[in-house]
Structure 1
Amino acid sequence: MKLLQPNLWVDNLHEIPLQQLQTIGIRGLMIDIDNTLVAWDKSEPATEVRQWVADARALGFQVVLVSNNHSLRVDEMQAFFMVHGFSKAKKPTLGTLKKAIRLMGFQRQQVAMIGDQIFTDVLGGNRLGVYTILVTPIKSKEFWWTTLVRPLEARVLHRMKKFRNSG
């Protein structure tokens, strides 16, 4: 259960306390694309999401997109956000996440993984030893595989909420 527990759980990107992340030494952000930055079925990110990424970069964060999606999708998002990205990451495996950290030139403890899925983003980030941030998915429409995993994820989240509320 510990590997599925994010360090921070927020409803949307705007609730992520970027200044607090800086104070704990986070300098790099690996960010998932689909339903974290952009709705799964949309081709463009919302203006406020583009601004959030720009604000993070202005604060000095290095941002790298890490997606399990195909290269065309990642290429489109790299153009919108003007950051580097990795496609077909196979999260929660660690290979691409390690490449993203090497690209940024940071140690693991200086990097956060931000995403909307426990079994890919949080699990991969925790296995790697980075700070993990779970964001509530932007939209309920998703890739077919994700729809199969979401019921199990909902059970895990329910248990986390009960544990969080009892402490």
Structure 2
Amino acid sequence: MVVGLKPTWMVTNIYDLTPKDLRAHGIRAVLTDLDNTLIAWNNPDGTPELRHWLNLLELAGIKVIVVSNNSRRRVDRAVAPFNLPYVHRALKPLTVGMHRALRRWHLRRDEVIMVGDQLMTDIWAANRSGIRSVLVKPILKSDAWVTKGNRLMEKFVMWRLRHRYPKLTWQEDLHERKTH
């Protein structure tokens, strides 16, 4: 089971994903989790750094699509200032939301990545969908109450992953080796 939770890459934060790196890997779209990946779970307004990153990707023609387990109202409120498309109630770790995004925006699995801060939802859903996955460190050390149980499980899973894959480490970009 632990193999299905192994990310393709582990990158410190989403802003380390540059248009140049993404294009080098044939990536046309970034599917991303919302809370603690794109924005802090308790600050839906984002940061200037986020706006800059989104502008860079837009200029490079790389689409950013939020794939979140949150309600339509929550996701709409969070992404409205950034004018981002989204899939709400994605049901991660199920593959429903990933498949919905691929169909809606006419994307192939090999031209997208899924970025998220949780192994048990984001990475597992991406891997089960055949999409390359990028684990990022959570923006905040605290979590919404619904995430706290997952974090406990993730500590154990990460311990198992690192024992099975000793080269599994945090990277600064996608040029460093994949975690495979």
Could you state the TM-score of these two structures normalised by the residue count of structure 1? 0.92
Cα 1:43–1:20 shift into 2, 3 Å: closer
| SS class of match (2:40) | coil
Tell me the equivalent position of 2:142.
141
Q: CA deviation at 1:17?
A: 4.1
Separation (CA, whole Å) in 2 of partners of 1:53 and 1:164: 33
RMSD over aligned CA atoms reads 1.7
**1:140-164, CA deviations, whole angstroms, 9 ceiling, x for partnerless residues?**
2222121011111012223334433
Would you say 1:164 and 2:128 are equivalent positions? no
Listed as ranges, the matches of 1:9-158 within 5 Å are: 9-158=10-159
Kindly indicate whether the alpha-carbon contact (under 8 Å) linking 1:65 and 1:84 is maintained by their aligned counterparts in 2: yes
Separation (CA, whole Å) in 1 of partners of 2:162 and 2:3: 14
- Percent same amino acid among aligned pairs? 33
Q: CA deviation at 1:108?
A: 0.8
Structure with higher RCO (Cα < 8 A, 6+ apart): 2
Separation (CA, whole Å) in 2 of partners of 1:50 and 1:72: 21
Q: CA deviation at 1:60?
A: 1.2
Select the structure that is richer in helix. 1
- Please list every run of 5 or more consecutive structure 2 residues that lacks an aligned counterpart in the other structure: 169-178
Count of residue correspondences: 167
Q: CA deviation at 1:96?
A: 1.7
- Please list every run of 5 or more consecutive structure 1 residues that lacks an aligned counterpart in the other structure: none
| SS class of match (2:86) | strand
